[in-house]
Amino acid sequence: MDENVNLQNENIPTSNNDYSAKDIQVLEGLEAVRKRPGMYIGDQSSRGLHHLVYEVIDNSIDESLAGFCDRIDVTIEENGSISVVDNGRGMPTDEHASGKSATEVIMTILHAGGKFDKGAYQVSGGLHGVGVSVVNALSEWLVVTIWRDGKEHQQRYERGNPVTPLGVTGPSDKRGTKVQFMPDPEIFTTTEFQADVLKARIRELAFLNSNVTIEFADRRPEKPQERTYHYPGGITAFVEYLNKGKEVLFKEPVLIKGNKDKTDVEVAIQYNDSYMERLYGFVNLINTIEGGTHVIGFRTALTRAINDEARRQKLLKEKEANLTGDDLKEGLSAVISVKVMEPQFEGQTKTKLGNSDVKGIVDSVVYEGLKEALENRPEIIKPIVESAIRARQAREAAKKAKELVRRKSVMSGLTLPGKLADCSNRDPEACEIYIVEGDSAGGSAKQGRNREFQAILPLRGKILNVEKARLEKILGSDTIRNIILALGCGVGDDFNETKLRYHKIFIMADADVDGAHIRTLLLTLFFRYMPQIIDQGYLYVAQPPLFRVQIGKEITYCYSEKEMKEAQRDNAGKKIDVQRYKGLGEMNAEQLWETTMNPENRIINKVEVQDAVEADKLFEVLMGDDVEPRRRFIETYGPEVRNLDI
């Protein structure tokens, strides 16, 4: 018996053929999506492209939240299309009042698929939950297959318009829904799916929905792969995954669950011995990277519960001040997953929770839960308090060393470093900064650049490895302070993107081992202390030429061995001179401009993080304290690593 499909959009056309105003409105609905895709999926770049997949998967997840689905298959097909299959009840196929099938209504009416029943939580809100009709409108083609009532049903659409009726294609004893779609190249700047990006979101969903198994497969010939994601341990397993390979302060993560005023709260906490905080917040399975009231409530409860227990166990002297939220951030790994009936999302990317009542709910659930855990497991509190006291001592020591004073000036970006050759343009959108290794290359870059929109910051020698240092020590390094001052946006919690002085930041270092080390140290600085610069796509690696090939009078610059060989082909017999560039310093200002800085000819590589959790692990392995994991990594991947894409 099919449930009625409750539609939030009343103006559904009355019949099939007389195109009343209402029909036009439906068509306009999908036209509106195609005219302004950004309104529905954020943008038309790779990020918006991957949102299409999340929309479809969310409908399968809703089926699993409702308790009818425990397996989802996500496949990048050989032809580059995406298939998502679930074993839920199957989208309704019965005829709708409008004369169309319920399926066609869901697939072609904006927001028609939104589950109307208030009973279950839905993955919706913000950019999420726009509905599968948006995916349909932005797909060159889409085929929906439904198995229910002993039959297989199927319908095909092109750019949102049905090109076949929903028809029965045969008997079937299966249950569930399959949506296969090809994103429309007329809409997206790229239609190439990134397996790592999809795997990161799938892994997250599997951790957050412990009852569901999600199979991923990439059937494209370049790099076929498949992987199963199923974590019965849920968010406890998520925190253990975050801490894998790290020294944890207590073995079993603390798990806290509670519900209040129809808000579900689930939190897992485990400390490790690093300086980093790894905290992930989710609202209705949406990753709230901008935080929000659930995170504030969590931090308030954590600080209060730990201070109370520390005093009770006399780990803090009477006259000693309470541990602060900052002290308790060091080494914290935590996952906060809340389910809210009517989430209000705020922030630039709609990933900040605004509901004020949720702060108090999370605070009381976490405080009670943590208090109980600390009483039942007395071994937990001591190492946490000792870690927090070390953090506080480091902060106080830095204050004495005036680092924190410098922190103010660095954060406010009031003074510019002397070594910076700034550009005359003041509009960050138009400006670029080259962070250049070595004074000689820095000199050539200053000379060769276009001083209207290109600034140069020469670096001298190695920079501090921030992976192993606290912020206070990092701000003590002149080189790093100069970079932060030149960029003007501050670091860490003080980061303020509106103060960023350049929207293109180039790391320009030699193509040799030293250059690679400097590049990696700088990438670590940006990834750990200014990740927003990477997320916004402002960080690039400049690519100087490796060879200069002169044939007669003709000079060609080559950026790879392959290019260099090609340049020499069909020129046999002529006088050929090949020069291999060892460092930037071998190029004069003119050559450096022409080959590496001139926007017309230069080759640049945008730094992108496709999987933040995996990137976090990679930086820890490559730059962290433990040599053993690094040695294993280099032995395993060293031979194949070309440009280590993070």
Query: Which of the ranges 80-88, 232-240, 310-318, 567-575 carries the binding residues for ligand 28F, by CB under 6 A?
Result: 80-88
> Which amino acid, 211?
N
5 binds ligand 28F (CB under 6 A): yes
Binders of ligand 28F among residues 551 to 580 (CB under 6 A) are none
- The pair of structure tokens assigned to 216 is 């991923």
- Nearest CA to 450 out of 594, 244, 604, 257 is that of 594
Q: Are 508 and 441 in contact (CB under 8 A)?
A: yes
Catalytic residue among 514, 535, 614, 616: 514
Q: How far is the CB of 64 from ligand 28F (least distance, A)?
A: 10
Around 478, how many Cα atoms within 13 Å sit in the side-chain half-sphere? 10
- DSSP of 565-626, one letter per residue? HHHHTT-TTS-EEEEE--SGGGS-HHHHIIIII-TTT-EEEE---S-HHHHHHHHHHHHSS-
Catalytic residue among 55, 104, 240, 510: 510
Q: Please confirm, yes or no, whether 510 is among the known catalytic residues.
A: yes
Q: Please confirm, yes or no, whether 62 is among the known catalytic residues.
A: no
Q: How far is the CB of 124 from ligand 28F (least distance, A)?
A: 12
531 binds ligand 28F (CB under 6 A): no
Q: Please confirm, yes or no, whether 23 is among the known catalytic residues.
A: no
Whole-angstrom distance, CA of residue 435 vs CA of residue 607: 15
Query: Which of the ranges 150-158, 176-184, 226-234, 356-364 carries the binding residues for ligand 28F, by CB under 6 A?
Result: 176-184
Binders of ligand 28F among residues 289 to 308 (CB under 6 A) are none
Three-class DSSP category at 208: helix
Residue ranges of alpha helices (H) inside 449-568 are 471-475, 478-487, 513-529, 531-535, 561-568
> Which amino acid, 131?
G
Would you say the C-alpha torsion 503, 508, 513, 517 has a positive or negative sign?
negative
Whole-angstrom distance, CA of residue 366 vs CA of residue 338: 12
Supply the angle between the helices 195-208 and 612-623 in degrees, to the nearest 10.
100
60 binds ligand 28F (CB under 6 A): yes
- The correct pick among 92, 160, 331, 369 for binding ligand 28F (CB under 6 A) is 92
Whole-angstrom distance, CA of residue 602 vs CA of residue 593: 9
250 binds ligand 28F (CB under 6 A): no
63 binds ligand 28F (CB under 6 A): yes
Considering the complex, state which of residue 46 and residue 177 has its C-beta at the smaller distance from ligand 28F. 177
Query: Which of the ranges 23-31, 81-89, 238-246, 286-294 carries the binding residues for ligand 28F, by CB under 6 A?
Result: 81-89
- The pair of structure tokens assigned to 221 is 């010939």
Output 497-500 pairs: Cβ under 8 A, ≥24 positions apart.
497/532, 497/536, 499/413, 500/428, 500/533, 500/538
- The correct pick among 6, 15, 20, 45 for binding ligand 28F (CB under 6 A) is 6
- The correct pick among 50, 51, 89, 199 for binding ligand 28F (CB under 6 A) is 89
- The correct pick among 70, 116, 233, 450 for binding ligand 28F (CB under 6 A) is 116
123 binds ligand 28F (CB under 6 A): no
- The correct pick among 130, 135, 179, 564 for binding ligand 28F (CB under 6 A) is 179
Size of the site for ligand 28F (CB under 6 A): 20
Considering the complex, state which of residue 147 and residue 275 has its C-beta at the smaller distance from ligand 28F. 147
96 binds ligand 28F (CB under 6 A): no
CA distances 434 to 3, 518, 540, Å, are: 61, 14, 10
Whole-angstrom Cα Rg for the chain: 28
Q: How far is the CB of 55 from ligand 28F (least distance, A)?
A: 9
Whole-angstrom distance, CA of residue 575 vs CA of residue 553: 10
Whole-angstrom distance, CA of residue 488 vs CA of residue 413: 5
Three-class DSSP category at 143: strand
- The pair of structure tokens assigned to 314 is 């006399």
52 binds ligand 28F (CB under 6 A): no
How far does the chain reach from its first CA to its final CA, in angstroms? Answer: 50
Q: How far is the CB of 120 from ligand 28F (least distance, A)?
A: 10
Query: Which of the ranges 59-67, 491-499, 564-572, 587-595 carries the binding residues for ligand 28F, by CB under 6 A?
Result: 59-67
Considering the complex, state which of residue 49 and residue 84 has its C-beta at the smaller distance from ligand 28F. 84
Considering the complex, state which of residue 178 and residue 278 has its C-beta at the smaller distance from ligand 28F. 178
Catalytic residue among 62, 437, 467, 472: 437
55 binds ligand 28F (CB under 6 A): no
254 binds ligand 28F (CB under 6 A): no
Whole-angstrom distance, CA of residue 238 vs CA of residue 260: 24
Q: Please confirm, yes or no, whether 514 is among the known catalytic residues.
A: yes
Q: How far is the CB of 71 from ligand 28F (least distance, A)?
A: 12
Q: How far is the CB of 254 from ligand 28F (least distance, A)?
A: 35
- The correct pick among 12, 30, 51, 59 for binding ligand 28F (CB under 6 A) is 59
Whole-angstrom distance, CA of residue 56 vs CA of residue 62: 10
Q: How far is the CB of 289 from ligand 28F (least distance, A)?
A: 25
Active-site residues, by number, are 437, 510, 512, 514
User: Where do contacts with ligand 28F occur on this chain (CB under 6 A)?
Assistant: 3, 5-6, 56, 59-60, 63, 84, 86, 88-89, 91-92, 106, 113, 115-116, 177-179
